[in-house]
Structure 1
Amino acid sequence: MFDNIFPVKLKNNDELIDKLLNKKILFNKNFGDIHYGENIWECGPQENRTWKWFLNSFLFLDPLLAEGMGEESYQIVLSWWERFKFSSLSDDFPWHDHATALRLDRLCRLALNLQFKESLVEIAVFHARALMREDFYSKHTNHGFDQSLSLMLVALVFSDHEEAEGWCETGFNRLVGEIGFAFTEEGVHVENSPAYHFGMIGNMVRARNLLKISNSFKYDFDAFFDKALYFLAWITRPDRFIAYIGDSASYRPSLAKELLDLPSASAVQWVATAGKAGEEPRNNFVVFEKSGYAIYRSSWRPEVNQTHIIMKSGFLSKYHRQDDDLNILIHAYGEDWLIDSGLYNHNQRDPIRIYMRSVKAHNVPYIPGVSMDRVNCSKDFSFVKEVNEPGFLCAFEGSTNMYKEGVVRRRVMIRDENEIKIKDIFLGFDDKEKFWLFHFPKDKIIKFEEGKIFVVGKNKRLVIKTSDVDVRMKKRVGSDDKFPSFESKTANVVTDSQVVVVGPSKNNDVIFDLVFENTN
């Protein structure tokens, strides 16, 4: 009945269980092996929020639960309850809003074993009542989405409880609101990250499965799913990784079997398998105007070059927001060129995390002394739209109020897979010096000759020149004092990258020409 609700059994379950029970080791892909000794709840890097979230959400119990090891799971749950049951709900941990919902999911899975259900009533009810509180509900976030699902799940598992009907009704009503907010009309998740878009598709599958089990509420998910899959196909790079934009890490797209009959599923199959399955998408250019993305892909066929260009400019949610409006990424000829910084971690006090979110971590203009606006999100705050530019295959223009003192507009014109023109216009910054930042992977060789930037890759070189012939150009690497450059494709792992800094310039209308050339 609940087979499609909980995490599936993994191939390495036996290894994880052996580590957990016999070697007193918790394994997490981002932290490796963590010894927990006598007190599992105090182990590991307690100063790291991602670790505490992992620990307090009970994610490490999934292998035990998948194998039906109820007694072992119950003893761990009981030790947590004895340790934290008198902690205030205002404590960030263990009562983190998202971790609480995920923890309740694991309690419900354990309670399906009737041997433990009665013993878990007190703990489950306490969690459900916490999630019912409006001041605990993280409305219009991916956390709130999972909180809504958890309320519906606990109502199903503990259906004989007198409060179960209220849990289910509240969970469903919140879920409808979460779906309406979480996705634009184009089916794109609003939380500023393609990785979270992919994750939310999985959550939507789970929501649909829960509604089928409840048989009490109806909601048509398919229209959302099809649009969400369409965007997923476009945002997936030619190397089959989802684009590293904002709080994203390394993910490759996959399809739940429940979605295979949707029209856009074949496009996701195509990009996920490099054309070995599915159907080749037809177009080479799309703008998701209501969502803040413009994407060009020169080809979908794996045997030829695929130049993939993305510009993001949209601020529809404060969650996972980075100062990355007008950011441009380029993947071409089988390698990265213009790159983004990534997630790194969720510790907002970590200096590297602070950098990752900042304007300096992205391929955008930088204006010293001008602060960034991370508060006033709306569809009019920033956007991107298709424009007509004679002589070019396609063109799009983004606009943002991210820079508090004025408006910056960026027009990107694509002549073909090798030639791109970028035009930046500044409104309200007449007396301000501007810099432009272009981030590249560490493996690129960067040279400056005759006022041009030469970026040498494996098979091609990218030549960049600017209309401001008097502007200076300089390369910075890694932890530079003024212009650092890092990238992170895995949580808590950071590597040096390099940034070309162009400027300063007081011009309010500047053009960059980017051309791929053969290296020989």
Structure 2
Amino acid sequence: MLRNRKPIKIFGVKDTNYSEKKLLNICNELLNDNYYIAERYPVYQSAHTGVSLWTCDPYKERSWRFWLHTLIVIEYLVHGFELFGHTKFIHKSLAIVTDWKTHNLPTADSEMAWHDHSTALRLIVICRLFEAWRTVSWDPTVAMQFAEIAEFHCMKLSDSGFYRQKHNHGLDQDIALYVAATVFSHLEHASAWRALALTRAQQQLKHLFAADGSYLEHSPGYSVIFLNRLYHFMRFLQQQGDPHYEMLQKIISRKIRFIAHILQPNGQIPPIGDSMMTELDVGPWLDLDDKNVSELKYVLSNGVNGSKPSALDALFSGGGYAALRNKWKFDDNTVQLVFYSGFHSRVHKHHDDLSFTLFGHGQPLLTDAGRYNYNYDSPERKYVVSARGHNTVMVDGTDTLTTRLNIGNSGLAHYYFGKPFSFVSGLHCLYRDVIHQRAILYYKPWNILVFDRLYSNRMHQYEQLFTFFPGVECTFSDGSILAMTSKNKQMIIRSLLNDSREPNLVKGQKNPLKGWCSVRHGTLEPAWTLAYTAEGQQVNFATHISLQPLTQPISAFQWTHESINFVIDGFKINLRLEPQGAVLGMNGNRIKLEMIKQPILEKTINDLRRRLNLG
């Protein structure tokens, strides 16, 4: 049955854009047991170590072990076979999967052998190898071994005790189970596995992706990873005649709109959460006939191709993102601000609520501290995840309480997109008995005002933090901070409050870690971090960021109780910030703010207001 059925095209689990020369070299090295896992790791020469390949940890790197047990090396070899036709790559792949089976099935000494995610991706790789092997030769014994390995994996993935609910790993488990049950459709439970995979996948999709296309696991970079995976799975379903592909097509379209707005103007992914600041890995989804695809093409080509997005600013309330900019054309005068706050799960969650990133002068200016790696216990990883590694307010030198009981207690609250400015506010209650409210007013194109209100009934130390991108140099200048890029472009940050708060700058401090940023995997680079510090029960911060320091458009600034008044370029602005919301006015006229429904957050704030006697 398996021998005579039509070939099934299996997609890759890791999109790589290696040149043919590079891929051929990787494959030839693997023939000699020199294991290339990814560009960021040296080639591992397993033949000369005397240590079992499947339990070794040469780089003390969790991700290296993960990709080893995913059998990513087999994916390289199969891809090499598809391009060059060398059957020796298939024979080597068979030897590797046989060796893996000998040492890891049914039990293994490495925690990555039956990790919930590596198990799923490995099964897809094995299915792809099987389909390639069928074109080379046929041996009933080998085919039976493939089926046995696949069946064991499918039994694992279908087990409710092994399955990761409400998690991106679970979605990959669903995809792998469906693919394997299709490739090995003769297995007794194949039909039931396919049905189970689809049922679970639909629930995962609702949990992972908001209706507006934003990703609910706090890291836009993973939205790109899953864009590729969902596209491949959509095509796989379509090829199998499964109508569920239409549901994925709609999700993909909405995700593409999110990516178009969230990308930095230079086409890189912003380093929010566990996202790496890399170029967008464009996949075949860019060929879809879709309005949102056309707009992304415009963004990626800097206006040469596609159609211009209809709006400069976009709100993605589901994921908790607001993306503001002054124009779509990318040059040194393009400014983008991404403001975000949301707690939907603990997956890829940093202590970054009410943080933001700022891009201008042709580069990132204010940034998150990055991902570093996934060695969760390392001090470097703990730093980049911490509140100190983000552009937010830290309370008592501690991190927010990201327990599951706090899910929903963070989010954006109000917004206004118009002229001459855009406005977004948000709140979170992730510190015990503290409400943090932040409002950002972007007066385009050069001026950003950041207002923070902290409410409590106890004394606290509050630090308003800003992390500058590595290479941006900072100095004190008349009570303000003057930031300078390598191209001598300037930015000034200054407090608008007359309370003699002294700004503090630190860069590259080692004990404890302060003033660092991880732009590349596994490395920290010194980066200036600015802190304004205040103590009290209820504390305010008002900070002006100007990308054109020679002009000072703000005057007559006053903050009395909940009322903020100032003049900017002749416009009289009044902003009232209270725990229950924000009210904005200009020149005596009230501006209609759109309210974002946050039922869990609203209930928590009302409870805290009563408990803290905030009125």
Q: TM bucket by the smaller chain?
A: over 0.9
Larger Rg: 2
Residue from 11, 30, 40 that aligns with 1:5: 11
- Aligned 8 A contact 1:406 1:427 in 2: yes
User: Corresponding residue for 2:504?
Assistant: 474
User: Corresponding residue for 1:187?
Assistant: 213
User: Corresponding residue for 2:490?
Assistant: 461
**Match status 1:495 vs 2:536:** no
**Match status 1:412 vs 2:443:** no
User: Corresponding residue for 2:149?
Assistant: 123
The separation in 1 between residues aligned to 2:108 and 2:95, in whole angstroms, is 23
Tell me how far 1:80 sits from its aligned partner.
0.8
The separation in 2 between residues aligned to 1:190 and 1:130, in whole angstroms, is 26
- Aligned 8 A contact 1:323 1:402 in 2: no
- Aligned 8 A contact 2:410 2:429 in 1: yes
State which drifts further: 364-373 or 418-427: 364-373
Alignment of 1:215-230 (within 5 A): 215-216=241-242, 218-219=244-245, 220-230=247-257
Amino acid at match of 2:76: P
1:83-118 C-alpha deviation (Å, 9 max, x unpaired)? 1114269x7321100000111111111222233422
1:472-520 C-alpha deviation (Å, 9 max, x unpaired)? 2121112343561222233222222120122134352221111122689
User: Corresponding residue for 1:276?
Assistant: 304
Amino acid at match of 1:29: E
**Match status 1:24 vs 2:51:** no
User: Corresponding residue for 1:213?
Assistant: 239
The separation in 2 between residues aligned to 1:357 and 1:260, in whole angstroms, is 36
**Cα separation, partners in 2 of 1:260 and 1:212, compared to 1, 3 Å:** closer
**Match status 1:95 vs 2:114:** yes
Tell me how far 1:20 sits from its aligned partner.
1.3
Amino acid at match of 1:508: V
- Aligned 8 A contact 1:459 1:518 in 2: no
- Aligned 8 A contact 2:518 2:525 in 1: yes
The separation in 2 between residues aligned to 1:463 and 1:336, in whole angstroms, is 15
Tell me how far 1:287 sits from its aligned partner.
1.6
- Aligned 8 A contact 2:37 2:64 in 1: no
Gaps of 5+ in 2: 1-6, 82-88, 552-615
TM-score by length of 2: 0.80
**Match status 1:336 vs 2:364:** yes
User: Corresponding residue for 1:294?
Assistant: 322
Amino acid at match of 1:225: I
User: Corresponding residue for 2:403?
Assistant: 375
User: Corresponding residue for 2:425?
Assistant: 397
Alignment of 1:46-445 (within 5 A): 47-68=60-81, 69-87=89-107, 92-112=111-131, 113-114=133-134, 115=138, 116-216=142-242, 218-219=244-245, 220-253=247-280, 254-257=282-285, 260-303=288-331, 305-368=333-396, 370-376=398-404, 380-388=408-416, 392-428=420-456, 430-445=458-473
The separation in 2 between residues aligned to 1:391 and 1:286, in whole angstroms, is 14
The separation in 1 between residues aligned to 2:443 and 2:90, in whole angstroms, is 61
Tell me how far 1:135 sits from its aligned partner.
0.9
- 3-state SS of 2:391 partner: coil
State which drifts further: 196-205 or 498-507: 498-507
- 3-state SS of 1:394 partner: strand
- 3-state SS of 1:131 partner: helix
1:294-328 C-alpha deviation (Å, 9 max, x unpaired)? 11111111356110101110111210000001111
The separation in 2 between residues aligned to 1:371 and 1:235, in whole angstroms, is 26
**Cα separation, partners in 2 of 1:337 and 1:178, compared to 1, 3 Å:** same
Gaps of 5+ in 1: none
User: Corresponding residue for 2:574?
Assistant: none
1:310-364 C-alpha deviation (Å, 9 max, x unpaired)? 1110111210000001111111010221111111111111110011111110011
1:62-87 C-alpha deviation (Å, 9 max, x unpaired)? 12112333211011011111111142
1:124-161 C-alpha deviation (Å, 9 max, x unpaired)? 11111111111110112111111001111111111111
The separation in 2 between residues aligned to 1:398 and 1:30, in whole angstroms, is 38
The separation in 1 between residues aligned to 2:469 and 2:175, in whole angstroms, is 40
Runs of 4+ in 1 over 6 A off after TM superposition: none
**Cα separation, partners in 2 of 1:420 and 1:110, compared to 1, 3 Å:** same
The number of aligned residues is 519
Amino acid at match of 1:493: T
TM-score by length of 1: 0.94
Amino acid at match of 1:205: Y
Amino acid at match of 1:433: Q
- 3-state SS of 1:67 partner: helix
Residue from 7, 10, 25 that aligns with 1:15: 25
Amino acid at match of 2:118: A
Percent identity between matched residues is 23
- Aligned 8 A contact 2:465 2:529 in 1: yes
- Aligned 8 A contact 2:369 2:517 in 1: yes
Amino acid at match of 2:23: N
- 3-state SS of 1:173 partner: helix
Amino acid at match of 2:91: E
Tell me how far 1:46 sits from its aligned partner.
6.4
- 3-state SS of 2:430 partner: coil
- Aligned 8 A contact 1:476 1:485 in 2: yes
- 3-state SS of 2:191 partner: helix
**Cα separation, partners in 2 of 1:23 and 1:59, compared to 1, 3 Å:** closer
Residue from 500, 511, 517 that aligns with 2:542: 511
- 3-state SS of 1:402 partner: strand
State which drifts further: 29-38 or 100-109: 29-38
